[in-house]
Amino acid sequence: MPRGVAIPELRQQLFAAAEQVIIRDGPGKLTGRAVTGEAGVAAGLLYAHFTDFDDFLAAYAVDRSFTIAAAVGALPGTGDVTADLCDAVLAIPRDTLTALARILVLRPELAARVNAVLGDRAAGLDAIEQAAAAHLAAARRAGRIAVDPAAVALALVGVLHHLVLTGADDLETRLHQAIAALVGSNERSDSA
């Protein structure tokens, strides 16, 4: 690429490249050179926009945590708690969820950096847990379910974490089955 040519959306291009490296090669192979190579840009370009690789990783984790929080932040209220939770979680881009979960396992200190920017409990799967707990609490107050919202939200995140870290091909089916088992047997329909 010629020098001095602006690259539109460079940060997102680098973040997407990091995601691809994590998904394909694992988080242990994530380096500045791997990211810039995947993005097809000069190796030094990453450091022209970020102080160091840790700064890049923190910015990536913040960006992707924000994406996840936005996807689950406004859970729909269709009346079917199981379907609402499944739809919200499945609306999160799977590569984003998988890559972020993997990098946070390898580099747990990134969660503190995300929390410093987005607030407590906003890093990665914490945002899903908070949104699910709030949605379940509202459904419980409305008399639609009789489960402990915090416990079910934590279990949901545990299931999701397992499924994304193991690369489950049948994530959608297994997630729906788990949520139905946690919530569905106690869920009351609006017509009841």
Distance separating alpha carbons of residues 125 and 68, to the nearest angstrom: 8
**Cα–Cα distance for residue pair 162/156, rounded to 1 Å:** 10
Q: Is pLDDT larger for residue 115 or for residue 30?
A: 30
In degrees, rounded to 5, the angle at the alpha carbon of residue 150 between the alpha carbons of residues 93 and 173 is 40
Confidence (pTM): 0.83
% of the chain with per-residue pLDDT over 90: 45
Calculate the average pLDDT of the chain.
Answer: 86
The whole-number pLDDT of residue 22 equals 96
pLDDT score at 67: 87
If 0-12 CB within 10 Å is exposed, 13-18 middle and 19+ buried, where does residue 31 land? middle
